[in-house]
Structure 1
């Protein structure tokens, strides 16, 4: 790359976090899909897709501007799978939400404000993306 310009950031296909260009990826930046070895191993499985679907279904049942907590999706998928412990699905539910943010389908909010899903810490809420197609990148 000449002039110090770096390619545009990407989104990890597994966790939905932002992947920032690094010098070590200069030769194969086009093939980079995961932010870490852990995400590469984890990938996106059946439960991940179920959580994405659950988030969509829960939002479809609510008013257009209503929010849900990722725990609602985790509980629904745990119930559907006959699992007793839904808390094990909380981080996968947050990953599913981040992937949906990257796809432009939803927004992640804290205290009513849209937040960067890669930087959000603590309790979050999820809502459908604004009509204007606004997407935090």
Structure 2
């Protein structure tokens, strides 16, 4: 059996977490889009797209090497109920990582968004 890191993978279209190839998906791997039934049911909502846009606009208003916390975007979109938007904000950041727009850091180092636990920061991708 191949080591897990040698197997094909792709991001979930909803949460941005990594989906790793499984034998049962051999015939329809190209059609696999979701990491779980919860992501399949939920889909990407307008609030999720608004969080993505807010993350990008918050970063655009700061220095090129500045970072933001997902809570900054959640507060901007959710107002008083921002805490309910924390996981959607993290998912929006993961989707933006997949799109190549941002990176997720912890302690100043870029980390894999699928495995990052605890506090994270979001920074624009450094070009050049």
- TM tier, shorter chain? over 0.9
**Any stretches of 5+ residues in structure 2 without a counterpart?**
none
For residues 20-61 of structure 1, give each alpha carbon's deviation from its aligned partner in whole angstroms, at most 9, with x where no partner exists: 000111111010000110000011010000000000000000
Q: Give structure 1 regions of 4+ aligned residues with deviation exceeding 2 angstroms.
A: none
For residues 69-90 of structure 1, give each alpha carbon's deviation from its aligned partner in whole angstroms, at most 9, with x where no partner exists: 00000000013xxxx2110000
Partner of 1:62: 62
Name the CA distance, whole Å, in 2 between partners of 1:7 and 1:118: 16
The CA deviation at 1:7 is 6.0
Name the CA distance, whole Å, in 1 between partners of 2:126 and 2:35: 27
Higher helix share: 2
TM-score normalised to structure 2 length:
0.93
Give the match's secondary structure for 1:30. Answer: helix
**Any stretches of 5+ residues in structure 1 without a counterpart?**
133-137
Tell me the C-alpha RMSD between the 2 structures: 1.7
Name the CA distance, whole Å, in 2 between partners of 1:59 and 1:53: 10
Give the match's secondary structure for 1:86. Answer: helix
Partner of 1:24: 24
